[in-house]
Amino acid sequence: DIPAKYGVNQCIGDTVGPGGLFKALRTIPVWLDILKDAERLCPNALVLNYTNPMSMMCLAAVRTTSLPVIGLCHSVQGTSKLLAKRAGVLINEIVWDCAGINHLAWFTRLEHQGKNLYPRLMEQARLDLARDPEGKLSDKQGQEEDFLDLVRKDMMLHFGAFITESSGHLSEYVPYYRKRPDLLKRYCRSRYEGQSSFYADAWPTWRATADAKRAQMVDGTEPITWARSHEYAAFIIEAREKDSPFTLHGNVANRWKGGGPLIANLPHDGIVEVKTIVDRSGLNPCVVGRLPPQMAAICAANMAVYDLGAEAAIH
């Protein structure tokens, strides 16, 4: 509400912008206390972080702890499946590369049977953006999903690759879509498509619903029927304990274990999201090389804020 009073419009607000910064300042001190306990009680542990703001949390960790830390998200898994669906191919038949920072990683390669899928996706994106020039298309809460995602489609057309986070959250990472009412009307829709104050308004209900369901599980009136999802943690634990290699995309230090940078044209003392192989030896991030410069520039601008936020919380 306070940022909105001064014209700063947020959709999710838990990772970047004023919402992300103040979440970091609330959360990182507690996080660093947890890491101190872990260093004392379980010094051989592998630390898996799911808490936002992901990049600032991981950056504060690698600057203060000796424990190996990786930040885990589901945007790479979810977006790769979404792109396969939009291209009309099976997910296990596409070949792709993805790298950048959390919520702002780029699918720099996307192929099916040796053929680049981007021309097909970009043509559809042009049609979707053209058919909604006045912001009149209703999403009907997902029923016309492929005609939405307007921010990500617009970014793909201008920057050359698709990005991992939802249009609503992505719109907070770049300076183009939330700065004027006409742009919000043009590019943003309900819920994760860019709705103003979406998380702030929805969270009390989500929290109450989740707490009630957990209480029912505890008292036996609700069965505990969770199936394994595409979240990484269970696969990482299995890979490490059974020494069965598993590949994921995680948030790690850009200079892993003191070596060279994983992404050469991003700050070497920052956190990046890259392909990582885990087995009994632990975490083994893969070197990416250089991102296309226009993509690296957007990532680096956000990493400068993460650096200041992490340092503020630490000191």
By annotation, the residues acting in catalysis are 74
Reading the block at residue 175, the tokens are 């300076």
Query: How many Cβ atoms from other residues are within 10 Å of residue 199's Cβ?
Result: 18
CB 266 within 8 A of CB 255: no
